[in-house]
Amino acid sequence: MDSLSKLDEVKTTRWAGGREPWSIEYGKIMMWFFLVSDAFTFSSFLIYYGAQKFAQPTWIDADKIFQSIPGIADHGQPLVFVGIMTFILIMSSVTMVLAVEAGHRNAKKEVVKWMVWTILGGIAFVGCQALEWTHLHHLGFWFGQNPATGLTDPAAISAALQPYFTNDISYTAALQFSNLFFTITGFHGFHVTVGIILNIIILCMVLNNTFEKRGSYLMIEKVGLYWHFVDLVWVFVFTFFYLI
Amino acid sequence: MAHHDHTLDSHDAHAHGEGMGVKRIWQVFGILLAITAVEFLVALGFVHHWNIVEKGAALYAFYIVLTLIKAYYIVAFFMHLKFEKKSFIISCSVVFIFIIYFIVLMLIEGGYLLDHFQQHPVYPNK
């Protein structure tokens, strides 16, 4: 009898069921798990970039390919423009976390203010990336294409690619760089674009008092997680494409 | 039920509020900005303009360490992971062991391809 009644007893320890072991709302857990899987995708891209760099006898010099500031300088200024982009994205991450913080205090007006700044930051970043892409496209880089595409004479290929290499010149290395740059920054830019759309939807919901009625601004936190993740990915893209 | 959820959420919000106040947010921002500034100082100044530091494995390791520190601050503070339950932190982070393994695997593979399958023309840079 005693042992049977023990079976029916509701256990109260953390992992015995009947309570939330993590004390996190379901949607937020799922956002985290999605981001972990997304991190795998980006990792695979960047690891492949690294593997290519290891497999090629020579590689493009980042200082020579990224050295323009659109509208100001055509060349000779490496890292400046991407520095501005990095600053914009970190800044928009800060305004996002400020929106989350305001949400915890149920301060609707502040949430709206910080969400608007976050969206503007995101749009500015995507705009900068569009300028960067346009510039590289003008130089002759694109998916499956580099400035020497279509040339057959080794001297001509070498001359077309010479401005972008410090060490030996390789058509294949330039092509792999081009493919991976557009694929990885493109996939990241796609994420930023999706983030902007999500932020706009959430901003509309805030203005519509949806969260006010719900009694919690938790949704801001979930979208915020996604937005910070986009910033996180950029930190790695910046290091591996522009610094190294 | 709805009422129960509400109290749970506001309790949750309270717990998070303790973790990340406005002051803390700007502190973390300051750290991220400072690390990025160091990266630029080294890359633009030491390497590009003054030629004090040579590009190479040591410099790249330095950049990667700074990158990982930045990643830690973003994930731990901006994404609040530091303030979640320990079991959740482990759930989200332990899988990256596979990524470390994948990095080692692919870089070794890349090095092998360079030594054994290199058949694309390489032109000297005069």
Write out pLDDT tens, residues B96-108: 999 999 999 999 9
In a domain, A207, yes or no: yes
Secondary structure (3-state) at A69: strand
Contact across the interface for B114 and A36, Cβ inside 8 Å: no
Q: Which of residues A216 and A12 earns the better pLDDT score?
A: A216
Task: Give the pLDDT score at B1.
Answer: 35
**How many residues belong to chain B?**
126
Query: Which of B1, B39, B47, B79 to probe by mutation at the A interface, max A CB count within 10 Å?
Result: B79
Assess A165–B contact: CB distance below 8 Å, yes or no: yes
Contact across the interface for B113 and A55, Cβ inside 8 Å: yes
pLDDT tier at B6 (50, 70, 90 boundaries)? very low
Q: Which of residues B114 and A3 earns the better pLDDT score?
A: B114
Q: Look-up: residue for tokens 């982070």?
A: B93
Q: Look-up: residue for tokens 């959420």?
A: B9
Task: Give the pLDDT score at A14.
Answer: 79
Query: Which of B12, B63, B78, B116 to probe by mutation at the A interface, max A CB count within 10 Å?
Result: B78
We report the CATH number of the domain holding residue A64 as 1.20.120.80
Nearest to B107 among A43, A50, A101 (CB): A50
Closest approach of A160 to chain B, Cα-based (Å): 12
Q: Which residues of A touch B64 (CB under 8 A)?
A: 239, 244
In a domain, A94, yes or no: yes
What is the maximum span of chain B, computed from C-alpha positions, in angstroms? 75
Question: Where does residue A23 rank: exposed (0-12), middle (13-18), buried (19+ CB within 10 A)?
Answer: middle
Query: Which of A48, A82, A104, A229 to probe by mutation at the B interface, max B CB count within 10 Å?
Result: A104
Contact across the interface for A25 and B92, Cβ inside 8 Å: no
Write out pLDDT tens, residues A64-104: 999 888 888 888 888 899 999 999 999 999 999 999 999 99
Enumerate the H helices of chain A as residue ranges.
2-8, 26-55, 62-65, 80-104, 108-139, 154-161, 171-207, 210-214, 218-237
Task: Give the pLDDT score at B19.
Answer: 67
Write out pLDDT tens, residues B34-56: 999 999 999 989 988 898 988 88
Percent of chain B with pLDDT over 70: 85
Question: Where does residue A64 rank: exposed (0-12), middle (13-18), buried (19+ CB within 10 A)?
Answer: middle
Q: Any idea where the domains of chain B sit in the sequence?
A: 2-85
Rounded alpha-carbon distances, angstroms, from residue B99 to A227, B57, B65, B72: 22, 21, 16, 16
Contact across the interface for A243 and B13, Cβ inside 8 Å: no
Contact B74, A228 (CB under 8 A): yes
Query: Which of B35, B106, B107, B114 to probe by mutation at the A interface, max A CB count within 10 Å?
Result: B106
Count of domains observed in chain A: 1
Q: How far apart are CA A90 and CA A111, in angstroms?
A: 18
Chain B, 3-22: which have a CB under 8 Å from a chain A CB? 6, 9-10, 12-14, 16-17, 20-22
Task: Give the pLDDT score at B9.
Answer: 42
Which tokens is B16 given?
Answer: 């998070």
In a domain, A7, yes or no: no
Q: Give the range of the structural domain holding residue A108, as residue numbers without chain letter.
A: 30-243
pLDDT tier at B18 (50, 70, 90 boundaries)? low
Q: Which residues of A touch B17 (CB under 8 A)?
A: 101, 104-105
Question: What sign does the dihedral A58-A59-A61-A65 (CA atoms) show?
Answer: positive
Give the pairing of strands A169-170 and B122-123: antiparallel
Contact A184, A45 (CB under 8 A): yes
Closest approach of B84 to chain A, Cα-based (Å): 7
Q: Which of A24, A45, A27 is nearest to A185 (CA)?
A: A45
Q: How far apart are CA A59 and CA A69, in angstroms?
A: 23
Closest approach of A84 to chain B, Cα-based (Å): 11
Rounded alpha-carbon distances, angstroms, from residue B47 to A24, A69, A205, B39: 46, 20, 48, 11
Chain mean pLDDT for chain B: 85
In a domain, A225, yes or no: yes
pTM for the full model?
A: 0.89
